[in-house]
Structure formats: C-alpha cells, structure tokens
Amino acid sequence: MPSTSMLRVDHAGEIAANTIYQAQANVFGLLGDTKTKKMMLDMWDTEKKHLKVAEMLLAQHRTRPSALLPVWSLAGKILGAATALIGKEAAMACTEAVETVIGEHYEDQLVHLRKITTQTPPSPVMDHSQSARESDTSGPGCPTSGLHPSLPLLSEVITEFRDDELEHLDTAVEHDAQQAPAHALLSAIVGYGCKGAIQIAKRL
C-alpha cells in the first residue's frame, strides 16, 4: 500500500496550494483586478478537487494528516497575499515556483509507484526454508503477497494531479511570471521553502 508519508505530504501540499490561490484571488479582488482574480479562482477550483481526493485517500488508508496543517495553511495565506500585493507578475512567479516543485514531487512519486507495480513476482519454485522466511515478511503491499489493489488507481490520481500542476505552471509562465521583480530570487526562496516543507511534512 502507499506509504503514510506520501499521502500526508500530498494532503499538506494541497492545503497550502488552496490557501495560496485563495489569498491571491482575494487580494486581486480587493485591488479590482477581476481578470487576474478569475485566473486564480480557476486554478483554485482545480486545487479544491485535489484536496477532496487527498482527504479521501487519508481516510481510506487511515493516515493522519500532518500535525502542522495550521502552519501550512498560514504559510500559504501569507505567501499568496504577499506575492499578490507585489503584483500580478510576482503572483505568477510564485505559482511557477510552487508548481515546479510540486510537479517534480508528483513525478518522483510516480517513478516510485512504477517501480513497485512493475516488480517481478517471486519464483513459485522455492525450498521450505525460503517459503518460511517470506511468509514472515509477506503482507498487504509486500511483493510476495501481490500488489495492493489501490496502487494502480493511486498512480492514475497522481498522474492527473501532476498534469494539472504543470498546466498551472504553463499558465503562470504565459502570464509573465518571469517578468516579476527579482524573479530568480523570488523563485529560489519559494522553491526551497516548498522543498523544505515537503521534508518536514513527511515526518510531522
């Protein structure tokens, strides 16, 4: 079955993404930029769907969410609002950086899942001592007992998530993300922050 850390990180990431887009949409609404607000709302709608699925996966696999959910939510709100206040380009640069990291993260998960689902099954011919050893370690999700039935579906879900995030990345680039003030610095700060949050959410 999928690891609990995988499900917990994905859920925490979707919480942060939702709050980022929500905050950006709110700020652009207050600034009267209805066009950019609508763009953010459209991307937020996608993230809402991701979050619902992530919550269902947590429940299905009896996995607790990250203990730091309030932190991820607050961080998303601050990041979203701050970049929107700087301007449209900064908000798009934020989206570009965040979705680059998340897209790579989902791709890494797909590589991991492909390795699991394409493992060669054990040979049916074995001595009694080998059979006894494997019977002690086999169980749900163990290669000797067959694939967990949720893995193929999870791969499809993660693929859809990745493609949606990369679509958001393309949208940000098309709308002048790289014209943001101090684009390289902003991208580096946001990107390293996201990577750090992923590592923390795996454990807490």
6: which residues sit within 8 A by CB, 6+ positions away? 109, 112
Neighbours of 183 (CB within 10 A): 18
For residue 11, the Cα-to-chain-centroid distance in whole angstroms is: 7
Instruction: Please enumerate, by residue number, every residue annotated as part of a binding site for Fe cation.
Output: 14, 47, 50, 99, 165, 168
Quote the CA–CA distance of 137 and 13 in Å, as a whole number: 32
Task: Compute CA distances 10 → 52, 72, 139, 150, 199, whole Å.
Answer: 11, 12, 25, 16, 11
Instruction: Please enumerate, by residue number, every residue annotated as part of a binding site.
Output: 14, 47, 50, 99, 165, 168
